A and B are shown apart, each in its own frame.
Chain A
């Protein structure tokens, strides 16, 4: 078994990197895959909170890199899926505590034992970002359908291209079909046309994401949530399954939306 290392990044902060990492991790584990989620946001750790594992942290990534513990000791097993692990970031250090080669070394050490290693990148284009993408086999850029987030995503994709990191996939998060319909939000076509990378999922704006984040229960665990379903679809695409796109284009008629609501309510 040789894990695929996927780094989730965005450039701009607050677009949903950590949410995406936690949810894709949980969804992959639910599909029977062994997954490590690694928080590379040294100094501003969040992934542990979103995954609801905050109170189990003993050692962190920096402890493992600086050999105060073995890497295994820094890995926290998820309380819901026993093939899902978290390596938390250090809260008391900063991005300069680790280097790109440390990240490559850590990933190489655990690659043989897992199917996926998901790295939650910090925002920005500096050291922390370079640490996070160094070991990546695939990079997922998360953006919102919003001008400033797309602009930053474009910048990040340019930097990723310059590092010759392939392939790049895009998640459009917090997509609001009714705003698009009113012409007040960028459409997915607008975003894709500008960024010119392959889409791996569109996640609709969904209150349940916020609620579940606050409870440390990733939204994929909530089967009535459209956003949760979207993350599940992304995970299936990651393991090579063909999943039809959710109808979120904002152009659907009332009956289309109604039937979708009924369907999601039933499942």
Chain B
């Protein structure tokens, strides 16, 4: 089973198996990580599984009892897709919406959606997402973030981060205190040298084909 954070909540991809087994595994997973799933919007990728209204209705009720909203079911099966539509569920992940806001001068500022997490990631936590990630908290050794966009850590970065994981060399990694196990941007990897002196906010990016870290104070902009 694969669990991914996506822009619209959580995407769970089930391994192909009997539906009862798939459903059981999903519920076990949710029970094991109650806090993670609680209140989540869930998109479920069931692959080729053929689902009828009874199955899906029962699952949706079970999930809603656990505080989880099932909003999308992805499937190669047209029967399953029809079933999903009966329940008013989406059958595809929406195209990313780009919210635009206006500043006081009336000039539009383009922004991109990001996954926002206001807690410390401990060893064993792993975030895989399309788009950007913002963490308010630390990223401890043994925790992993893999994002197709940029990663901002308002805290200490001591775990593993891969930004621009789908090849975007413009992606950056920012942290208040940068001492990661390993850092990657697009196809380039780097480890942090032993830091001397006080921690400082830094930005990591690719410059002239190398991963470089710069003090935020010296640079101030990307």
Contacts and interface: CB of A to CB of B under 8 A. Distances in A.
B36 A194 contact: no
Contact of A152 (B32, B36, B123): B123
Contacts of A155: 122-124, 142
B34 interface: yes
B35 interface: yes
B34 A154 contact: no
Interface residues of A, number: 14
Contacts of B140: 154, 194
Highest count of chain A CB atoms <10 Å: which of B138, B140, B141, B158: B140
Interface string A95-113: 0000000000000000000
A227 B123 CA distance: 29
Given A151-B141, A154-B140, A155-B142, A162 B33 contact: yes
A28 interface: no
Given A161-B35, A162-B36, A196 B142 contact: no
A159 interface: yes
A110 to B, nearest CB: 26
B125 interface: yes
B120 interface: yes
A17 B125 CA distance: 24
A184 interface: no
Interface in B118-148: 120, 122-125, 138, 140-142
Interface residues of B, number: 15
A223 B35 CA distance: 44
A158 B122 contact: yes
Contacts of B158: 194
Interface in B5-58: 32-36
Nearest to A163: B34
Contact of B34 (A152, A164, A194, A196): A164
Contacts of A36: none
A172 interface: no
Given A151-B141, A158-B125, A196 B35 contact: no
A103 B136 CA distance: 37
Interface string B147-161: 000000000001000
Interface in A16-59: none
A191 to B, nearest CB: 12
A31 B122 CA distance: 36
A170 B124 CA distance: 19
Contacts of A151: 123, 141-142
Given A151-B142, A194-B140, A164 B35 contact: yes
A162 B142 contact: no
A155 B122 CA distance: 6
A196 B123 CA distance: 13
A230 interface: no
27 contacts: A147-B141, A151-B141, A151-B142, A152-B123, A154-B122, A154-B123, A154-B140, A154-B141, A154-B142, A155-B122, A155-B123, A155-B142, A157-B122, A158-B122, A158-B123, A158-B125, A161-B122, A162-B32, A162-B33, A162-B34, A162-B35, A162-B36, A163-B34, A164-B34, A164-B35, A196-B120, A196-B138
Interface of B: 32-36, 120, 122-125, 138, 140-142, 158
Given A162-B34, A194-B158, A196-B138, 9 more contacts: A151-B141, A152-B123, A154-B142, A158-B123, A158-B124, A159-B124, A161-B122, A162-B32, A164-B34
Interface of A: 147, 151-152, 154-155, 157-159, 161-164, 194, 196
